[in-house]
Amino acid sequence: MDQIRSVRLAEPPREPAAVDTLSLVERYRAVRTLSEALAAPLSDADATLQSMEDASPAKWHLAHTTWFFETFILRERGAARFDDDWPFLFNSYYEAEGERIARFSRGMLSRPSLAQVLDYRAHVDAAMERALDDPACVELVGLGLAHEQQHQELLLTDIKHALWSNPLGPALWSPPPLETTEPVATGWIEHPGGIASIGYAGPGFAFDCEGPRHQVLLQPFALADRLVTNAEWDAFIAQGGYRTAALWLSDGWAWVKANDVHAPLYWSGEDHFTLAGWLPRDPAAPVSHISYYEADAFAAWAGARLPTEAEWEAAARGADPASGNQLDSAGPVAPVGSASLFGDCWQWTRSAYLPHPRFKAAEGAVGEYNGKFMSGQFVLKGASCATPRGHSRASYRNFFQPDKRWQFTGLRLAKDI
């Protein structure tokens, strides 16, 4: 982890305003079409699988995102339900919307079929075409599209876990040409600290949990200019990283022992499981599918630490959130490594997912979207190879419990200066 070069940011730059050249109708069609393209290789059996409680079946993702538009936009316009029984099946966690099937039972939904879910999507899309011209719907449509983009990533990570659980290790897509990248020495991006403005402020869409914008005092720090790699993780393992209690938080060490953890999820020997099946690992590619506990232990082993949410966001001001390795279309996705702060893997921070000062949840059912989950989770920043390009920004707050690792989660080291 030698320091090779430093870039000092004299003043944290302002976050660039998001520019979307597509009309609302074009955006709606593009997002909805991508969801179906991601699911196109799946059989009905594939789309019904739920390999663990954290995951959901692919056809449930397709139906739930459709339920969102039907419930919060079309119902308010007086439209009839496609099927009066389906809200019970496809509501996720909105208490204001009534009873729903237990999360761990979503994989029991052999009916409706994938074909029926796609018919449901077509029905709602036809009705939404008329609603998209209504200025009163613009804000909720924006939330619905961002919500569906989140589920596009979840669809990919959930089906990856389901296919990995199959002893045959089937592939969703054919593997891309095998390429090995050259390793790059770690450099550091230095930040002078001081008062930084954190949180979203500006035109365009942002989730409620990203605001309000507020000020924080930062001490001088530096972020690594790239993510930690598979080769570096191999060294961590070889030097007893998973066997050295002193590196781990108490909860993390208990998790390692209870679950017999000795490598990132999906690793086996020199190979790892991908959406294109079992493939050799690229040593220079970013490590992924690690928990917060693993990220924190590696940082301690490397003589560094994880960044805080505020540090990462301050360093990312002015960076292009649409850069790096992110999702553009259906096809194999995997971390490959780039110089961008965004893409490849979501990056664990050491910050708890808590409300920003003066945060207030929206009224009604949509107010349940983020605020009620602000307990027992950690913030991740950036974007991953499975994040739709343009979805993220510096203020974006992804969040998971510290033991979760089925998402494309990695780490970028930080240190005091």
Fold of the domain built from segment(s) 6-19+176-416? paralog of FGE (formylglycine-generating enzyme) (3.90.1580)
**pLDDT at residue 233 above 50?**
yes
Residue 331's pLDDT band, with cuts at 50, 70 and 90, is very high
pLDDT grade for 22, boundaries at 50, 70 and 90? confident
Joined together, the tokens standing for residue 33 give: 């079409």
**Which of the residue ranges 6-20, 161-175, 274-288 would you say has the lowest mean pLDDT?**
6-20
Q: Which residues contact 18 (CB under 8 A, 6 or more apart)?
A: 202, 203, 204, 205, 390, 393
- The three-state DSSP-derived secondary structure of 27-89 is HHHHHHHHHHHHHCCCCHHHHHCCCCCCCCCHHHHHHHHHHHHHHHHHHHHCCCCCCCCHHHH
* Residue, of 21 and 146, whose pLDDT is higher: 146
Rounded alpha-carbon distances, angstroms, from residue 14 to 19, 82, 314, 398? 15, 45, 9, 21
Q: Is the pLDDT of residue 10 over 50?
A: no
Q: Which of 42-56, 292-306, 356-370 has the lowest mean pLDDT?
A: 356-370
Is the pLDDT assigned to residue 5 strictly greater than 60? no
What local confidence, expressed as pLDDT, does residue 20 receive? 57
pLDDT range class, residue 361, cuts 50, 70, 90: confident
Q: What is the pLDDT of residue 159?
A: 98
In angstroms, the CA 191 to CA 415 distance is 11
Mean pLDDT on 382-404: 97
**How many angstroms separate the CA atoms of 63 and 301, rounded?**
44
Strands of 265-391 (E only): list them.
267-268, 271-274, 277-280, 346-352, 378-382
Interval 270-313: pLDDT, tens: 999 999 999 999 999 999 999 999 999 999 999 999 999 999 99
pLDDT at site 367 = 72
Helix, strand, coil content of the chain in percent (nearest 5):
40, 15, 50
Predicted local confidence at residue 70, as pLDDT:
97
Domains of the chain: which residue ranges? 6-19+176-416, 42-165
**Confidence at 373, pLDDT banded by 50, 70, 90:** confident
- What's the pLDDT at 176? 82
